Amino acid sequence: MSNGHTRSAAARGGALVAVTYVYFLIFAQFAFLNRLAQLGIGGVALKVVMAAMALGGIALSMSAPRLARWPSPQLRLRAGLACCAVAALLSLLPLNIATAAVVALLIGAGLGLLTVTLVTHLAAWCSPRYPLLTVGLGTGFGYFLCNVPGFFAATPQVHAAAAALLCAAGVLLAPPDSVRVEPAAPFPSPRVHLPFAFVVASFAALVWLDSAAFFIIQHTPALKAGTWQGTAHLWTNAVLHLGAALASALLLRRSGLLTVLAAAFCALAAACWLLLDPARALPASLLYPIGVSLYSVALVAYPSLLSSAASTAHRARQAGWLYAIAGWVASALGIGMGQNLGHVPPLFLIGAGVVVLLPALFVLLRRRPRELLLTASILAIAFTGARLQRHAAQPALTPIERGRQIYISEGCIHCHSQYVRPQTADVLMWGPTESLDAIHAQQPPLIGNRRQGPDLSQIGGRRSPLWLKMHFFDPRAVSGSSIMPSYEFLFRDQRGDDLVVYLASLRGPGTMQHVVDEGNWKPSQAAVRAASVTEGHTLYLRFCATCHDPGGATHLRWKASFYRLPPDFTTGPLLDLPSASTPQKRFDRIAQLVRFGLPGTDMPGHEYLTDQQVASIRLWLLQNIAKPTPQSIASE
């Protein structure tokens, strides 16, 4: 083959790899999710849509080698690119859940057909002299383009249109039917033969780590600010991706797949560990793109160039299994980990390390047993000494510091945030916002990214220590709709009291002023008109009777501990309201007490109730509980 033909083949193969990666990264993994958010598709509906994408990807990855009606690989390649382009354009329409699921299915199907067909025949469609370099350049430039600031920051509509145009260009780049579909000579065999099952498990572990880390970064404001926001971060990511992709191609040629997989794992595992603390986001932002590009090049190169498959059909089947399991299943599991845990557990990093590094350690142990044993002994001694020194020098902790450690160890961060989102309904419900500097000063920050329960950043100004303790003992007794489990066992020793002290300390300098501002709140007129006595009675029994009825569970168990015993609403009077000088102000004040509680007492707020629910409770109280006495009104 002439040099001109060689360069043309290299450019074609690299461009097809780049187009595939750009489509997957900037559209399927990023812009399509943002487009669904624009359309208001979230929660369970979002999971259904993404499951449809995974289903399409798995189905076509497995069936692509068996499409007998399309024997030409060039035709299958064009069909995959065309399907991807059509799906991207369809995402621009005003979709509902059903049509979004159909589009997602097309995205997955197009990618499944495209990726398996491309890697199966890539050796014939790229430079025969430098095939790994072709893969490295294509992967590197794909990631580079996705991180160019102007392109990365574009709208989902722009991303979708660009993805469709790139796929259309890919159709034109697809090799003509006259181009051979088998390489002229087989690629040199790897130095160490790796069982296919190990290869799949290793790539699955790496994709799992990558997907979890990406989701956590994109959905944690403090981490995203330190890794992905700003022109400097994006250009750095682009350059690191390109450089690591080229390095991966070189390592694959000189050292083999084991070295690349081990290096990629070390970079990704270190990044995931650093992401546990937003203060360490900067070094994580350097390691993450390196690890991703290292394994991404190998993910293309293995089935196309490095596999020990004896035939094209065998190579296609391996590619189908690899991308179905490592590409789709592991990616979904990684995203699920990011959603449900908000971090990558260290134990999972250890397990993934065993999967990826064990064969490499076995080979190293067989070749260098004495050196490896000596190195391991030195590391163990150094680690033990550092641990002993740290424990010896550790000062005594205050109750607040001990309580914070209990908060972390019991996993409270997985259900409770400590971050009031500015200029949202959070401010009214949970209190004033904190500056990002104050959040970064925490070691580690505990802002969280989920809200199974209320935000706790100002909980010390909104709940008394006694209420917090009562809630830990029996959450549903003091908050009827709580799904939190009991933590009564923490009070068998000092841990429970320390946790209460820590939570009671969570209040900002603007907390009390915020309480004053809440005194101006009142339910909307629409909520007042929609209020229902029946609903009010049901809500009263769920949230209020436990303290205000003599037979209430909380009243009976804790009556000796209350700073001021809650009023008995079965006998009245309803409330003394010296701060409410007119009937209308008394009316509004009752709603404020139901919604926000009474600071300085054990009376909690019910911030999560809607205006209508608050108005319904107030209506039932005024119609069914004894009214204020003339003496109480006169005393005002």
What whole-number distance in Å separates Cα of residue 471 and Cα of residue 453? 13
CA 95 to CA 431: how far, in whole Å?
A: 36
Q: pLDDT tens digits, residue range 421-446?
A: 777 777 777 777 776 667 666 767 77
Answer whether 138's CB lies under 8 Å from 132's CB: no
Dihedral class, residue 40 (left if φ above 0, else alpha if ψ from -120 to 50, else beta): left
Would you list the domain boundaries of the chain?
A: 3-176+192-366, 399-511, 519-634
In the prediction, which pLDDT does 310 show?
A: 78
Architecture of the domain made up of 399-511: Orthogonal Bundle (1.10)
Q: Looking at residue 2, what is its pLDDT?
A: 46
Per-residue pLDDT reduced to its tens digit, 58-80: 888 888 766 645 667 888 888 89
As a whole number of Å, the end-to-end CA separation of the chain is 100
Among 384, 139, 334, 324, CA closest to 247: 139
- Position 392 scores a pLDDT of 54
Q: Is 27 in contact with 88 (CB distance < 8 Å)?
A: yes
| Same CATH fold assignment for domains 3-176+192-366 and 399-511 | no
pLDDT along the chain (636 residues), means of 10: 51 85 88 86 84 89 69 84 93 91 92 89 76 90 90 89 92 68 46 77 92 84 73 88 93 88 92 84 88 93 85 86 90 84 86 83 63 68 67 72 87 82 73 69 71 82 89 88 86 91 82 64 87 90 88 87 81 58 74 82 85 89 64 37
Rounded Cα distance between 12 and 74, Å, is 13
Q: d(Cα 180, Cα 505) in Å, to the nearest integer?
A: 72
- Provide the CA 251 distance to its chain's centre, in angstroms: 31
- From the number of C-beta atoms within 10 Å of its C-beta (0-12, 13-18, 19+), residue 563 rates as exposed
The pair phi, psi for residue 119, each rounded to 5°, is: -75, -30
For 38, list phi and psi in degrees, rounded to 5: -60, -35
- In this prediction, residue 634 carries a pLDDT of 36
- Enumerate residues 6+ apart whose C-beta is below 8 A from 469: 491, 496, 497, 500
Q: Which amino acid belongs to residue 96? A: N
Cβ contact 613:528 at 8 Å: no
- pLDDT score, position 635: 37
The C-alpha atoms of residue 593 and residue 455 are separated, in whole angstroms, by 19
Cβ atoms of 238 and 143 closer than 8 Å: yes
H/E stretch holding 317: helix 312-322
Instruction: Name every residue whose Cβ is closer than 8 Å to that of residue 566 and which is 6 or more positions away in sequence.
Output: 547, 548, 555, 602, 603
Beta carbons of 604 and 467 less than 8 angstroms apart: yes
CATH superfamily of 519-634: Cytochrome c-like domain (1.10.760.10)
| φ/ψ (deg, to 5) at 485 | -75, 165
State whether the Cα torsion 435-441-446-450 is positive or negative. positive
pLDDT for position 573 = 61
Dist. CA 332–CA 318, nearest whole Å? 20
CATH architecture observed for domain 3-176+192-366? Up-down Bundle (1.20)
82 with 167: CB under 8 angstroms? Answer: yes
**Are the C-beta atoms of residues 490 and 499 closer than 8 Å to each other?**
yes
Q: Give the count of beta carbons closer than 10 Å to the beta carbon of residue 399.
A: 16
